[in-house]
C-alpha cells in the first residue's frame, strides 16, 4: 500500500502541502492542470526553490486576481467542487476537508453549519490549497495518509478578518480535537485551519510501528522564517507491507450480582443504540461465591458519557471501571455486490493481500424475510458467491 507521511516539522498549511508533494516529484504543471478543472479563473501557481536552515525546499504562492475578500458558504464551495471536472476521489477528499472546517467554524461561532461563511478559507487561494492537497494525494497514488503529532504555535496573536485571534486559532484547535498535537511555545501560527483539516480529514493517524519502504521525500516551505526551527513540512512517500487500521476506544465495565437477568437484553439494545461498538456479558463468580455478570461496553470517546448514563439508568450498579485501549484492525470497507439474490451490502476485508467479502447478518436476515428463505440457506449461498467475487 502506498502511503504518505506528513511530518509537521513546523506545522502544516495548504500551500506547504502542495509544495511538499511538488518537491517529492509531482510536476507543478500536472498540479496546475488538475486545478484548472475547477473552472474558476483568476489564479496561478508559482513555485520556486528556497532554503530553510540549509535544506532545499519548494515554496508555492497561489497568485490570485481576486482583490476583495470573497466570503463563501459551504454550499457555494461545494457547488464549485461538484461543478468541476475533477475526479470523484479528489472531489470527495476536498469535500471532507471543507466539511471539517465548516463544523469547526460553526462550533466556534455557535451558529448552524448552513449559515457559516468562510472568510480566509472561503477565498480563492484557500479553495485552491484544499483542492490542491486532494489532487496531490490522488496524482501521487496515495492510498493512506499518516502524520506526526501536529505542531502548533502558542502564546501568540494573529490578525484575521474576524479581528485579533489567539494562536493556535480557535478553528484549528477545534478541528484537531482528539488528534495528537504538540504545543511548541512559538508565538506564531504554525498550523492553519486548512492544514489542520487536511490532516484530520485524510490521515489514518500517527505513524507508529509500521515498516515503511521510503521512495520519495519532499519539503514544502512556509513563507516566514523562524529562529527556533526550519519552517518546513516534510512528506515521506513509501509503501507499507502490512497496514493495520489503528484507533482508540473506551471500555466500560462493571460487575453486577443483584439484578433481574431479564433486564440484560434490553440493556444491550440500549447500549448499542447509544453508540457502543459492542456490548457483552460474561458470567463470573464474585466475592462470597455469589454468581454475577461482568458487563462490558466498548465505545468511542465521543459516545462514552452516553453509554455511562445508559448503564447507570438501566442497571443497579453504583460504580464503573473505564479504560482507554488501542485497537489494531484489518483494513475494511463496505461495498455493494450484485448476487443471484439481488444487490447485497458486503464487508470487504483485506487479508494477506487479498480482499475477502462477507455479507453482514442484517443483510442475510433481510433477504431471508423478503424471499421467505432459510437464513442458513441465504448465508451459504452468499458465502459461496462472495468468496468468488473477492479480488486479489
219 and 267 fall within a common domain: no
pLDDT at residue 162, as a whole number: 60
290 and 337 fall within a common domain: no
Residue numbers of the chain with a pLDDT score lower than 70: 66-70, 117-122, 156-163, 208-210, 241-243, 352-353, 390-392
Last residue of one domain, picked from the residues 227, 243, 259:
243
The 10 Å Cβ neighbour count of residue 366 is 18
pLDDT at residue 245, as a whole number: 75
pLDDT at residue 141, as a whole number: 94
pLDDT at residue 68, as a whole number: 47
272 and 173 fall within a common domain: no
DSSP-assigned letter for residue 209 = S
pLDDT at residue 67, as a whole number: 61
192 and 102 fall within a common domain: yes
How far is 104 from 180, CA to CA, in rounded Å?
17
Spatial neighbors of 212 by CB under 8 A, at least 6 apart, are 3, 5, 236, 238, 239, 240
pLDDT at residue 356, as a whole number: 87
pLDDT at residue 390, as a whole number: 61
Last residue of one domain, picked from the residues 329, 357, 380:
329
Spatial neighbors of 121 by CB under 8 A, at least 6 apart, are 98, 101, 105, 130, 193, 194
pLDDT at residue 392, as a whole number: 41
With H, G, I as helix, E, B as strand and everything else as coil, classify residue 190: coil
In sequence order, the β-bridge partners of residue 291 are: 285
Q: Kindly report, residue by residue over 214-273, the tens digit of the pLDDT.
A: 999 999 999 998 888 999 999 999 987 656 777 889 999 999 999 999 999 999 999 999
Last residue of one domain, picked from the residues 185, 208, 243:
243
236 and 372 fall within a common domain: no
Split into its structural domains, the chain has a count of 3
Nearest to 150 by CA among 340, 11, 249: 11
141 and 235 fall within a common domain: yes
109 and 150 fall within a common domain: yes
C-alpha cell at 217: 521525500
Q: What's the pTM value of the predicted model, to 2 decimals?
A: 0.66
**Bridge-based pairing state of the strands 245-256 and 291-299:** antiparallel
Q: Kindly report, residue by residue over 321-335, the tens digit of the pLDDT.
A: 999 998 888 888 888
- Supply the CATH number for residue 298's domain: 3.30.70.1380
146 and 20 fall within a common domain: yes
How far is 204 from 175, CA to CA, in rounded Å?
15
Domain carrying residue 279:
246-329
How far is 366 from 378, CA to CA, in rounded Å?
10
Spatial neighbors of 16 by CB under 8 A, at least 6 apart, are 195, 220, 221, 222, 232, 233
319 and 349 fall within a common domain: no
Q: Which residue has the cell 493517524?
A: 205
Amino acid at each position: 500500500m502506498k502511503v504518505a507521511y506528513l511530518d509537521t516539522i513546523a506545522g502544516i498549511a495548504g500551500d506547504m502541502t502542495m509544495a511538499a508533494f511538488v518537491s517529492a516529484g509531482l510536476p507543478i504543471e500536472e498540479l496546475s492542470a488538475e486545478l484548472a478543472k475547477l473552472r474558476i479563473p483568476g489564479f496561478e501557481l508559482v513555485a520556486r526553490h528556497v532554503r530553510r536552515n540549509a535544506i532545499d525546499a519548494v515554496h508555492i504562492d497561489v497568485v490570485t486576481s481576486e482583490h476583495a475578500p470573497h466570503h463563501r458558504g459551504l454550499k457555494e464551495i461545494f457547488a464549485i467542487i461538484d461543478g468541476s471536472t475533477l475526479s470523484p476521489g479528489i472531489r470527495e477528499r476536498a469535500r471532507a476537508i471543507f466539511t471539517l472546517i465548516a463544523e469547526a467554524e460553526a462550533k466556534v461561532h455557535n451558529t448552524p453549519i448552513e449559515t457559516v461563511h468562510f472568510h480566509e478559507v472561503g477565498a480563492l487561494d484557500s479553495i485552491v490549497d484544499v483542492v490542491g492537497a486532494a489532487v496531490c494525494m490522488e496524482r501521487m497514488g496515495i492510498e493512506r495518509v499518516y502524520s506526526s503529532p501536529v505542531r502548533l504555535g502558542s502564546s501568540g496573536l494573529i490578525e484575521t478578518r474576524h479581528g485579533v485571534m489567539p494562536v493556535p486559532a480557535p478553528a484549528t484547535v477545534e478541528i484537531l480535537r482528539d488528534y495528537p498535537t504538540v504545543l511548541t511555545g512559538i508565538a506564531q501560527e504554525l498550523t492553519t485551519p486548512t492544514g489542520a483539516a487536511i490532516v484530520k480529514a485524510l490521515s489514518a493517524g500517527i505513524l507508529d510501528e509500521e515498516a515503511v519502504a521510503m521512495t520519495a521525500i519532499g519539503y514544502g516551505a512556509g513563507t516566514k522564517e523562524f529562529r527556533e526551527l526550519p519552517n518546513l513540512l516534510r512528506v515521506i512517500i513509501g509503501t507499507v507491507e502490512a497496514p493495520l487500521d489503528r484507533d482508540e476506544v473506551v471500555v466500560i465495565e462493571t460487575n453486577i450480582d443483584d439484578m433481574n437477568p431479564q433486564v440484560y437484553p434490553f440493556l444491550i439494545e440500549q447500549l448499542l443504540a447509544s453508540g457502543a461498538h459492542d456490548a457483552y456479558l460474561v458470567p463470573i463468580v464474585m466475592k462470597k461465591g455469589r454468581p454475577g455478570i461482568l458487563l462490558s461496553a466498548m465505545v468511542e470517546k465521543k459516545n462514552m458519557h452516553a453509554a455511562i448514563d445508559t448503564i447507570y439508568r438501566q442497571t443497579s450498579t453504583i460504580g464503573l471501571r473505564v479504560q482507554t485501549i488501542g485497537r489494531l484492525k484489518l483494513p475494511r470497507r463496505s461495498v455493494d455486490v450484485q448476487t443471484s439474490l439481488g444487490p447485497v451490502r458486503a464487508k470487504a476485508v483485506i487479508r494477506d493481500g487479498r480482499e475477502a467479502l462477507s455479507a453482514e447478518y442484517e443483510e442475510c436476515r433481510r433477504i431471508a424475510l423478503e424471499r421467505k428463505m432459510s437464513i442458513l440457506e441465504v448465508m451459504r449461498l452468499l458465502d459461496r458467491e462472495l468468496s468468488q467475487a473477492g479480488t486479489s
